[in-house]
């Protein structure tokens, strides 16, 4: 019986019988069976026992352990019977709870429509908790049980980097929670302007239109309501729901802004819009409160209504990272609707300034990943991936009773077409909808919080249907079914709406995709992606990937946020407990965790030859503006105040902010160049300018600056050798230190190194627990002492071909170091990087490194992983 392609087999006269009488079959083949038996017995010498070398030691035949448990249970029952009456014994038998192992298995196997499964202490578990708990080291983080990393001592970075470059990595990021805002568009924009830095309104017009229309998503820093740079909370990702319908329909969707009072009515119309703000679990409570505070403040001022609520426990986010992420996505995502035949006509993405025309003209395909814009958003209603044909059965067509939808094709790689106009499936006049599509999709959308999304089918039911399907394919009858079982099951579905988010690295090239699905569908997509070859990673491995691609990792690389302090307190407690397990004689000395950022103030004061401090200056106003908040919702909790004291500065993450800061302290002459248009070419041109140093010499001692420092993120590369660890201190080098490393001899003799006895005393812990810089008094100790200008937040990743460390340094001190180095070097020897010294906290050797300021290469530094 031959089957061509996906056609159903046709009946013929030579089909085998549906039933076979086994006894008659054996009698008719008796001679053949006897011949076969004699041949086998001759080869085995009539010894049919299994050979000794083929036997395996197993304990499956021994049920002694189960007998012991059974006898123990019977003894307990007998004791209970002797102590209580017969009626109470019968009640205890009926009400005896199941063992904890079975109860926990049933609880974790349950797949509710929303919410997280929690432990006894209230800690939430991801839907993939059972899968991770068997393979990863689990840890309590931010109210969740999260996979910290693979089992072991924290190694395996080389294998992870190889998977990233040659394969695909998978991470369950469902601990990121979305907050939804609903209301008139103008007031939603005003709300975001109060708490997000930077916002789309201050970006280029093309980028702003693409984000506001829902074609792409944006990233920004979430702050408390108040000054432009009040206390930062966390980096967030925000996305708008695309406009529904055409331009005529938009006129019907536009609402007159009507408030709770009559004077709140305005003549201008504003469309009702929705947006999501994704917040990390470590800063969710703080960020959620800030958004509600901003909405409340705007509603009081303007008399309008803005809804702000959380999607916690409703959405799951799976991240695909690596070079093969797009290929795996094509195997997984099969839209329910048919595919446009001439999809090549939709590949060009021409962004228009008019928002309505922008949406109607910007549909694109994922046949080529490069054609989609950076940070693109795609919306689909897709099939259950468990129902997709596999390679083994790709020539077999499943009947309509199993999958009531049109087959996309037997190939694993398909074309995905995203329609950015209606945010729904693409339809074509030449390709009508198959029957049953409306029942499957039903207009469901992840944006509609009130709509009910059905959970997926149970695995056992799908297996039974596939079994019946195979039995019918082989023309075998099933045994007669028993009486129908009555069940109160919820309605299930075989399709679900999803969102695809394109992730890019700092250079703009594709890095991976994020899949947003209903939380009840997380296991379905997770198991399918793992079965297709995705390598699962935890928090530690994700941190390695972020450092490899040059993006900051939250919260480790955000020292100005409260989440950074909370995470470091956990690590400090773990480090202290680990040290206490060693005998006092070999116990390592304590190091400051988190990094003592306040010591940079001391270094800034001592380096008086670079800057001149002023008690009253025009720059105090802008610095005070960064540190003060005028909102009634300002936080005053102990953690926030303690963090401000420990960090004692601000972090500039946009070029405009750094330029404004330099103007406020009268530092326009400093050798920092965040305002360059063509950054690479312009910076090289500035380096070759011989008159540049004369411009800076006139005003380097006229800086007006107070104690509020400004830090910038830098990338550190070892000059010749060295491995930088987390928490390493970055120091200001002398010109003699640089000449020792840059000389052509290459000898390591004579390079700067402090005595081993002075390593543990570089920082001194105060009785209050605060760390201070221990300044040496004798001249001999001052020869090897170097002043700190910053700290490393993420060290080198083992196995990286171009190891890079993430660090934060004080901006004015970096400009002073660059001026000092350019002044003593010839024009041909100048570099755009700045020479600094890096020393690990437990090491005595200083290593020369090159620091690259991120804001001199990019306009914004808000991308994160």
Residue 237 lies in a domain: yes
Better pLDDT: 422 or 664: 664
Residue 762 lies in a domain: yes
Better pLDDT: 559 or 452: 559
Same domain, 229 and 321: no
Residue 301 lies in a domain: yes
pLDDT in tens, 103-159: 777 777 788 888 888 888 889 999 999 999 999 999 999 999 999 999 888 888 999
CATH of residue 198's domain is 3.30.70.1400
Mean pLDDT of 630-646: 46
Residue 391 lies in a domain: no
pLDDT in tens, 33-83: 999 999 999 988 888 887 776 666 655 555 566 666 666 666 655 554 455
Indicate the residue among 551, 571, 594 that finishes a domain: 551
- Give every CB contact of residue 282 below 8 A, 6+ residues apart in sequence: 141, 142, 234, 554, 555, 563, 566, 567
Residue 679 lies in a domain: yes
User: Does the pLDDT at position 850 exceed 90?
Assistant: yes
Instruction: Specify whether the CB–CB gap between 379 and 418 falls below 8 A.
Output: yes
- The band of 389, judged by pLDDT with boundaries at 50, 70 and 90, is confident
Same domain, 841 and 697: yes
Q: What is the pLDDT of residue 779?
A: 83
Residue 828 lies in a domain: yes
Q: Which domain holds residue 193?
A: 177-243+272-312
Same domain, 193 and 214: yes
Same domain, 534 and 671: no
Q: What is the pLDDT of residue 425?
A: 37
User: Exposure of 432 by Cβ count < 10 A (0-12 exposed, 13-18 middle, 19+ buried)?
Assistant: exposed
pLDDT in tens, 169-223: 999 999 999 999 999 999 999 999 999 988 765 555 556 788 888 889 999 999 9
Number of independent structural domains in the chain: 3
Distance CA 512, CA 320 (A): 5
Same domain, 295 and 319: no
Indicate the residue among 551, 572, 597 that finishes a domain: 551
Same domain, 154 and 185: no
CATH of residue 329's domain is 3.30.1360.120
Mean pLDDT of 439-460: 71
Distance CA 711, CA 428 (A): 54
Exposure string for 131-167, b = 16+ CB within 10 A, e = fewer: bbeeebbbbebbbbbbbbbbeeeeebbeebbebbeeb
Q: What is the pLDDT of residue 774?
A: 87
Residue 483 lies in a domain: no
Mean pLDDT of 349-363: 39
- Give every CB contact of residue 854 below 8 A, 6+ residues apart in sequence: 712, 713, 714, 715, 861
pLDDT in tens, 464-516: 888 888 888 777 766 655 555 545 566 788 888 999 999 887 665 678 899 99
Mean pLDDT of 447-458: 80
Q: What is the pLDDT of residue 14?
A: 61
Same domain, 161 and 277: no
Distance CA 780, CA 787 (A): 15
User: Does the pLDDT at position 542 exceed 80?
Assistant: yes
Q: What is the pLDDT of residue 145?
A: 94
Q: What is the pLDDT of residue 375?
A: 86
Mean pLDDT of 805-815: 93
Same domain, 663 and 720: yes
Better pLDDT: 647 or 434: 647
Cis peptide before 539 (omega within 30 of 0): no
- The band of 796, judged by pLDDT with boundaries at 50, 70 and 90, is very high
Mean pLDDT of 376-398: 70
User: Does the pLDDT at position 597 exceed 70?
Assistant: yes
Better pLDDT: 638 or 100: 100
Same domain, 505 and 652: no
pLDDT in tens, 546-571: 999 999 999 999 999 999 999 999 99
Q: What is the pLDDT of residue 601?
A: 82
Indicate the residue among 526, 551, 576 that finishes a domain: 551
pTM (2 d.p.): 0.79
Q: What is the pLDDT of residue 778?
A: 84
Mean pLDDT of 272-293: 94
Residue 783 lies in a domain: yes
Same domain, 606 and 697: yes
Distance CA 645, CA 626 (A): 15
Q: What is the pLDDT of residue 483?
A: 54
Distance CA 565, CA 732 (A): 26
Distance CA 97, CA 656 (A): 64
Q: What is the pLDDT of residue 453?
A: 84
Average pLDDT score over the chain:
76
* Range with the poorest average pLDDT among 23-27, 310-314, 439-443, 540-544: 439-443
Same domain, 186 and 287: yes
Same domain, 801 and 745: yes
């Amino acid at each position: 019986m031959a089957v061509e392609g996906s056609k159903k087999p046709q009946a013929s006269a030579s089909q085998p019988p549906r039933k076979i009488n086994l006894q008659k079959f054996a009698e008719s083949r008796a001679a053949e069976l006897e011949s076969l038996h004699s041949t086998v017995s001759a080869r085995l010498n009539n010894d049919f026992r299994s050979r000794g070398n083929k036997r395996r030691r197993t304990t499956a035949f021994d049920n002694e352990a189960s007998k012991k448990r059974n006898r123990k249970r019977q003894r307990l029952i007998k004791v209970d019977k002797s102590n209580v009456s017969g009626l109470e014994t019968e009640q205890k038998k009926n009400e005896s709870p199941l063992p904890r192992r079975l109860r926990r298995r049933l609880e974790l196997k349950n797949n509710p429509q929303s919410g997280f499964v929690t432990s006894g202490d209230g800690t939430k578990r991801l839907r993939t908790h059972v899968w991770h708990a068997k393979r990863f080291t689990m840890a309590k983080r931010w109210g969740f049980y999260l996979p910290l990393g693979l089992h072991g001592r924290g190694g395996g970075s080389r294998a992870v980097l190889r998977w990233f470059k040659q394969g695909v990595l998978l991470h369950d990021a469902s601990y990121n929670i979305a907050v939804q805002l609903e209301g008139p568009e103008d007031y939603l924009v005003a709300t975001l302007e109060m708490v997000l830095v930077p916002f789309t309104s201050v970006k280029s017009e093309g980028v702003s239109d693409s984000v506001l229309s829902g074609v792409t998503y944006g990233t920004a820093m979430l702050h408390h309501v108040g000054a432009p740079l009040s206390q930062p909370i966390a980096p967030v990702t925000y996305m708008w729901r695309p406009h529904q319908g055409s331009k005529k329909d938009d006129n019907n969707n536009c609402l007159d802004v009507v408030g709770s009072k009559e004077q709140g009515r305005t003549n201008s119309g504003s469309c009702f819009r929705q947006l999501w703000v994704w917040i990390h679990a470590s800063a969710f409570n703080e960020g959620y409160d800030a958004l509600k505070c901003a909405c409340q403040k705007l509603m009081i001022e303007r008399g309008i209504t803005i809804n702000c609520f959380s999607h916690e426990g409703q959405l799951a986010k799976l991240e695909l990272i690596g070079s093969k992420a797009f290929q795996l996505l094509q195997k997984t995502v099969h839209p329910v609707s048919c595919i446009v035949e001439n999809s090549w006509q939709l590949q060009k993405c021409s962004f228009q300034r008019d928002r309505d025309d922008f949406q109607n003209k910007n549909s694109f395909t994922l046949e080529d990943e490069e054609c989609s814009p950076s940070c693109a958003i795609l919306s689909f209603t897709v099939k259950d991936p468990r129902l997709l044909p596999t390679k083994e059965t790709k020539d077999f067509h499943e009947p309509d009773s199993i999958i009531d939808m049109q087959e996309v094709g037997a190939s694993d790689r398909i074309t995905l077409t995203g329609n950015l106009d209606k945010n729904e499936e693409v339809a074509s006049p030449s390709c009508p909808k198959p029957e049953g599509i409306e029942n499957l999709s039903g207009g469901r959308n992840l944006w509609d919080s009130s709509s009910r999304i059905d959970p997926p089918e149970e695995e056992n039911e799908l297996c039974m249907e596939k079994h019946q399907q195979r039995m019918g394919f082989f023309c075998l009858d099933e045994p007669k079914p028993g009486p129908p079982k009555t069940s109160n099951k919820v309605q299930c579905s075989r399709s679900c709406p999803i969102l695809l988010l394109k992730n890019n690295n700092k250079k703009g090239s594709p890095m991976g995709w994020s899949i947003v699905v209903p939380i009840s569908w997380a296991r379905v997509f997770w198991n399918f992606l793992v079965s297709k070859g995705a390598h699962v990673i935890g928090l530690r491995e994700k941190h390695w990937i972020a450092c490899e691609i040059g993006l900051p990792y939250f919260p480790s690389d955000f020292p100005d946020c409260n989440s950074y302090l909370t995470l470091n307190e956990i690590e400090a407690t773990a480090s202290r407990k680990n040290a206490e397990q060693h005998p006092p004689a070999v116990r390592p000395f304590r190091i400051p965790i988190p990094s003592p950022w306040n010591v940079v103030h001391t270094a800034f004061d001592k380096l008086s030859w670079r800057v001149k401090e002023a008690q009253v200056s025009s720059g105090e106003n802008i610095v005070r503006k960064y540190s003060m908040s005028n909102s009634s919702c300002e936080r005053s909790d102990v953690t926030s105040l303690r963090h401000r004291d420990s960090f004692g500065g601000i972090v500039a993450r946009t070029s405009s902010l750094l330029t404004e800061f330099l103007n406020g302290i009268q530092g326009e002459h400093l050798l920092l160049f965040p305002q360059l248009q063509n950054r690479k070419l312009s910076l090289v041109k500035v380096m070759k300018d011989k008159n540049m140093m004369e411009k800076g010499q006139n005003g380097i001692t006229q800086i007006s600056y107070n104690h509020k420092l400004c830090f910038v993120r830098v990338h550190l590369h070892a000059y010749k050798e060295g491995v930088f660890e987390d928490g390493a201190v970055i120091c200001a080098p002398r010109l003699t230190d640089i000449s020792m490393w840059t000389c052509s001899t290459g000898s390591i003799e004579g390079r700067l190194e402090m005595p081993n006895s002075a390593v543990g005393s570089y920082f001194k812990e105060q009785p209050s627990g605060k760390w201070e810089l221990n300044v040496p008094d004798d001249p001999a100790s001052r020869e090897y002492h170097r002043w700190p200008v910053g700290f490393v937040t993420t060290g080198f990743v083992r196995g990286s071909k171009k190891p890079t460390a993430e660090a934060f340094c004080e901006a004015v001190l970096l400009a002073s170091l660059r001026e000092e180095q350019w002044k003593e070097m010839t024009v041909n020897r100048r570099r755009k990087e700045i020479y600094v010294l890096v020393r690990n906290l437990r090491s005595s050797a200083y290593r020369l490194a090159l620091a690259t300021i991120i804001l001199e290469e990019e306009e914004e530094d808000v991308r994160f992983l």
